[in-house]
């Protein structure tokens, strides 16, 4: 299992992005050996994500070549591409725009030889695809998300790409059971799971005594469908306070053992670090947990 990182950890708010070559060189310098890549992470794309869609409207051939060249030069393969947009947004036009851009992204993924695109199941929140809405548990929210997911899976099947979602407290797919329901209802091997243990905790649950049961339960519900693993962490507390790998309460040794037990064949992509001075420490924490 290689240790990778999500390139979004190198995006600074309202700041210029790095050129692809510079970004991949820096990631390799920190000792990572693969990436989950977002086109918003490189200046060649000219794209900054909105609160609802994180997929560019166009991807120029020159941008693809720059990413491919940087990945090869620094021996840092792209294993996953971010395809997040608000799949449950109350505005149907936003959902349809996201799907149109998903077609562009799937074509780009195929050209780069990448098999997986990561998704966000979305929220009924108008402002941010990562923000909670009290309407997320309604039939309207489920149906909006489900209809979008059906279309997205059709795109994935056409381009030979596998999509992966995760359970997140702020989204419509907020529990392992809802993730299981979605996969079973869609019924396609092109829709699988991302394991991000930090995202399994709801408000009031982020305490050490709950860690083993929360993580183990997720594996029991969808462990054999995990195709991507994320290494974000969460601090102890009554709220939801994410942090870099090793700075919170997630038991990464348990996570590593369960990934092996359930036959996970992919890599680990750390996420939520952001501070450059902690990039090596986070990687070493995960790698020590695997021993």
Per-residue pLDDT reduced to its tens digit, 224-264: 999 999 999 999 999 999 999 999 999 999 999 999 999 99
Beta strands in the chain (DSSP E): 3-6, 34-37, 78-82, 116-118, 162-165, 191-196, 226-230, 233-234, 242-243, 268-270
pLDDT for residue 181 is more than 80: yes
Indicate the burial class of 239 (C-beta count within 10 angstroms; 0-12, 13-18, 19 or more): exposed
Report residue 241: phi and psi, to 5°.
-130, 95
The model's pLDDT over 168-178, given as tens digits with 9 standing for 90+, comes to 999 999 999 99
15 pLDDT band, cuts 50/70/90, is: confident
Write down the pLDDT at residue 210: 98
The model's pLDDT over 46-82, given as tens digits with 9 standing for 90+, comes to 999 989 999 999 999 999 999 999 999 999 999 999 9
Write down the pLDDT at residue 147: 98
The alpha carbons of the chain give a radius of gyration, in whole angstroms, of: 18
pLDDT for residue 14 is more than 80: no
Q: Which domains does the chain have, with CATH numbers?
A: 3-289 (3.20.20.150)
Q: What mean pLDDT is reported for the chain?
A: 97
Report residue 280: phi and psi, to 5°.
-75, -45
Q: pTM of this prediction?
A: 0.97
């Amino acid at each position: 299992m290689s240790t990778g990182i999500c390139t979004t950890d190198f995006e600074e708010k309202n700041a210029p992005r790095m050129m692809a070559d510079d970004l991949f060189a820096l990631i390799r310098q920190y000792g990572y050996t693969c990436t989950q890549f977002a086109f918003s992470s490189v200046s060649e794309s000219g794209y900054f994500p909105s609160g609802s869609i994180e997929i560019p409207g166009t991807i120029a051939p020159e941008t693809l070549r720059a990413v491919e060249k940087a990945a090869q030069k620094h021996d840092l393969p792209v294993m996953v591409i971010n395809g997040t947009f608000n799949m449950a947004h109350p505005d149907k036009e936003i959902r349809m725009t996201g799907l149109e851009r998903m077609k562009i992204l799937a074509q780009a993924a195929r050209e780069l030889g990448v098999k997986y695109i990561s998704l966000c199941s979305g929220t009924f929140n108008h402002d941010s695809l990562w923000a909670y809405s009290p309407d997320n548990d309604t039939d309207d929210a489920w149906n909006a998300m489900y209809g979008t997911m059906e279309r997205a899976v059709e795109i994935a099947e056409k381009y030979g790409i596998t999509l992966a979602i995760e359970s997140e407290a702020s989204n419509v797919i907020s529990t392992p059971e809802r993730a299981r329901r979605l996969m079973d209802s869609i019924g396609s091997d092109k829709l699988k799971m991302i394991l991000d243990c930090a995202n399994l905790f709801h408000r009031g649950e982020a305490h050490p005594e709950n860690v083993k049961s929360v993580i183990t339960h997720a594996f029991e519900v969808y462990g054999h469908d995990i195709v991507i693993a994320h290494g974000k962490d969460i601090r102890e507390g009554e709220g939801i306070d994410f942090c870099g790998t090793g700075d919170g309460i997630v038991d990464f040794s348990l996570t590593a053992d369960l990934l092996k037990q359930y036959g996970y064949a992919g890599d680990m992509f750390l996420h939520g670090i952001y501070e450059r001075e902690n990039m090596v420490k986070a990687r070493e924490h995960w790698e020590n947990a695997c021993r």
